[in-house]
Homo-oligomer: A and B are copies of this chain.
Amino acid sequence: MIKVGIIGATGYTGCELVRILLCHDEAQLVALSAKDRLDEELAEIYPNFRGMIKSKVEKLDIEGMASKVDVVFTALPHGVSMEVVPDLLAKGIKVIDLGADYRFKNLTAYEKWYNIHQSPNLLDKTVYGLPELHRDTVKQSNLVGNPGCYPTSIILALAPLLRNKWIDVNSIIADSKSGVSGAGCSPSEGSHYISCNESIKAYKVAAHRHTAEIEEQLSDIASEEVIITFTPHLVPMNRGILSTLYANLNKDANLESIHQYYQDFYQQEEFVRILPIGKMPETKYVRGSNYCDIGMTVDSRTKRVIVVSAIDNLVKGASGQAVQNMNLMFGLPENMGLKMPGLYP
């Protein structure tokens, strides 16, 4: 039984980790910490857990936590993870960081879009935790930078096109649409019900931090520099990201070949579902599940390919993927605790 700690347990990704781990056969939650709501039972903060977990939220004590756990999930804002991760690693604890601090190899990119890094030496050792692309290194790693929600939906959708040099790497446009849980649980004018409900908006247009993360990974896949235009949107729903991706085809490719290549590319992947030609993903069918659904078409009039992907931002886009990484790091079946279908209706 793997003993698990969560730092930042009171946010949505923390809550979602608990939801998944409560049904995981080989993991046991032994420590929950956060900055706020100390000494409250987690089940009072998230009453969906009433009757299922007795644990209280505790003030972070790295020493104490390290003595009890095998692995820690850090579900913290960027800049905060790096204050605790080096200490945990030093004590021999494996770490899966759900923030941005350990997603980059490129220190310059991180520091340009985020802030000064406190433990740049660790960037060599961290692995970008997208199992479909980095499974083998995840297995060997003690520190995984768990991918962002938008990046997961975009990278999985574009990887086959880039790997096979199908598209002009300068032509990529990513138009993503996210549910409101992606904005976190802090009350603000922007997260007020009235502000979100019955409306859609674009935000941080061509200026969202995830751009850097996406570009580093896409460039790595393409073996050349990839620069994209990325626009996130806020949609009135709790969960889900739909990414619509546009790129100019390099060569005269037909839809059937591209589709076949996607199927082959993700042949072994349980959590990536390539939809039949003619079908497009909808976020409702991945709600609460760890799947990434991908559909595509070719616009022969403009010689563009359009790929659409759907994930649950809190599962495959965060906590589900983190558990998938944990399973890999501990030699467990990769899908353990992640076999739940989407909650539809």
Collect the chain B residues with CB atoms within 8 Å of residue A177's CB.
Answer: 177, 200, 233, 235
Q: Contact between B23 and A340 (Cβ–Cβ < 8 Å)? A: yes
Partner of A51, one of B15, B52, B270: B270
Contact present for A12 and B345 (CB under 8 Å): yes
Q: Identify the stretch in A69-77, A86-94, A187-195 within 8 Å (CB) of chain B at 4 or more residues.
A: A187-195
Query: A198 contacts which chain B residues (CB < 8 A)?
Result: 179, 198, 237-240, 283-284, 287
**A210 contacts B by Cβ under 8 Å:** no
Chain B residues, Cβ within 8 Å of A229: 246, 299, 301-302, 304, 306
* A48 partner residues in chain B, CB cutoff 8 A: 284-287, 289, 341-344
A2 within 8 A of B: no
B19 touches A341 (CB 8 A): yes
The docked-state distance in angstroms from the alpha carbon of A279 to that of B231 is 14
| Complex CA distance for A283 and B196, rounded to whole angstroms | 10
Closest residue to A231 on the B side, CB-wise?
B244
- For chain A, the bracket of interface size reads 35 or more
In the complex the two chains form, what is the Cα distance from A229 to B233 in whole Å? 19
Could you tell me which residues of chain A, from 260 to 299, have a CB within 8 Å of some CB in chain B? Answer: 270, 273, 275, 279-289, 291, 293, 297-299
Name the prevailing secondary structure of the A interface residues.
Answer: loop
A200 near B19 (CB under 8 angstroms)? no
Q: Are B237 and A200 in contact (CB under 8 A)?
A: yes
Q: Which residues in B have their C-beta under 8 angstroms from that of A46?
A: 285, 344
Q: Is the CB of B238 within 8 A of A235?
A: no
Residues of B contacting A275 in the complex (Cβ-Cβ under 8 angstroms): 47, 50
Q: Which residues of B contact A189 (CB under 8 A)?
A: 187
Q: Is A173 an interface residue (CB 8 A)?
A: yes
Establish whether residues A293 and B50, one from each chain, have CB atoms under 8 Å apart when the complex forms.
yes
In the assembled complex, the Cα of A3 lies from the Cα of B201 at a distance in Å of 36
Q: A188-B187, A287-B198 are in contact. Are A206 and B297 (CB under 8 A)?
A: yes
In the complex the two chains form, is A343's CB within 8 Å of B201's CB?
Answer: no
Contact indicator A302/B23 (Cβ below 8 Å): no
Q: Which residue of B lies closest to A181 (CB)?
A: B345
Q: Does A332 contact B (CB under 8 A)?
A: no
Please, could you name 7 A-B residue pairs with CB atoms under 8 Å apart, sorted by A? A48-B342, A50-B275, A192-B192, A198-B240, A199-B283, A236-B237, A287-B343
